[in-house]
Amino acid sequence: MRTPILAANWKMHKDVGESVAFAEAFLPLVADAEGVEVVLAPPFTALASLGQAIHGSAVRLAAQNVHPEPKGAFTGEISASMLVDLGCAYAIVGHSERRALFAESDEFVARKAAALLAHGIRPIVCVGETLEQREAGRTFDLIETQLEGSLALVPHARAEEIVIAYEPVWAIGTGRTATPELAQEVHAFIRERLAKRFGDAAARVRIQYGGSVKPDNVYSLMAQPDIDGALVGGASLEPDSFARIVRFDRTGGPE
Ligand code: PEP
């Protein structure tokens, strides 16, 4: 019912040449991968070239960010219509690095998501607690607040187009993955909150897990009923590693 979505977030890695070289190595590895959606989010500078390199394949292009305004005096920013120009199907918004390092609020994330939807780009909306928040028992309150704020401008009829990425901050880039059971518990909570907001459509919204996903843990994560994909940083930088993730590699076996 929900097509799994595996997305690579390259952050500030890979120039144009490296991005195109990745595509040339990666596409043959996933050419016969069926029943999954595969998304690559390179830096802005590589979007055009990577878009050409994956053209004609089933792999989709994503941006890592967007500005909510359509145009104007916003030096250094990129609008949703500019991303449409480059063929982006998705854009990541509210990544914890942007929330923490660039002070992005839920309200700002909501405006970005709305701008993307208005231009036919699907937002991947990230939420997740810090270690401090988890240890203080605030995980569910925090996730609820982030969801309410970040999805505030999503029209009911467009709910199915959004993707939620649950990314516990303590698991991002740390090698410390949430256990499948812990991740499932939060994913189920997210779906329940989505149902309160969007009704039946919540059953069709895809919820990705992110945080040190690797070929040897993807299988057990994807086996959980409410985990519909992964948002992958470090392990998406090598074609072979990300291709194994796309295939829910079983060599690590169920944990
Ligand atoms: C991310 O950047 O969204 C992420 C989950 O990174 P990593 O896979 O490296 O933890």
Q: What are the helix and strand counts (H, E) for the chain?
A: 10, 8
Half-sphere exposure of 174 (CA within 13 A, CB side): 13
pLDDT at 252: 52
What is the overall mean pLDDT for the chain?
96
Going by C-alpha positions, the residue among 151, 140, 158, 139 that lies closest to residue 111 is 151
Please state whether beta strands 163-166 and 5-9 pair in parallel, antiparallel, or not at all (unpaired).
unpaired
Q: What is the mean pLDDT of residues 38-66?
A: 98
Using the 8-state DSSP alphabet, how is residue 121 labeled? P
0.95 surpassed by pTM: yes
Give 53-68 pLDDT, tens digit per residue: 999 999 999 999 999 9
Look at residue 254 and tell me whether its pLDDT is greater than 70: no
Q: Which residues have C-beta atoms less than 6 Å from ligand 1?
A: 9, 11, 167, 172-173, 210-213, 231-235
Give 173-215 pLDDT, tens digit per residue: 898 888 999 999 999 999 999 999 999 999 999 999 999 999 9
| Amino acid (one-letter) located at 96 | S
Look at residue 8 and tell me whether its pLDDT is greater than 90: yes
Look at residue 131 and tell me whether its pLDDT is greater than 50: yes
253 φ/ψ sector (left φ>0, alpha ψ -120 to 50, else beta): left
Give 146-160 pLDDT, tens digit per residue: 999 999 999 999 999
Protein residue with least CA distance to atom 1, ligand 1: 233
pLDDT at 177: 87
Look at residue 223 and tell me whether its pLDDT is greater than 90: yes
The Cα 59–Cα 61 span in angstroms is 7
- For a ligand 1 pocket test, name from 5, 6, 9 the mutation site with the most ligand atoms within 8 angstroms of its C-beta: 9
Contact by Cβ (8 Å): 91, 64: yes
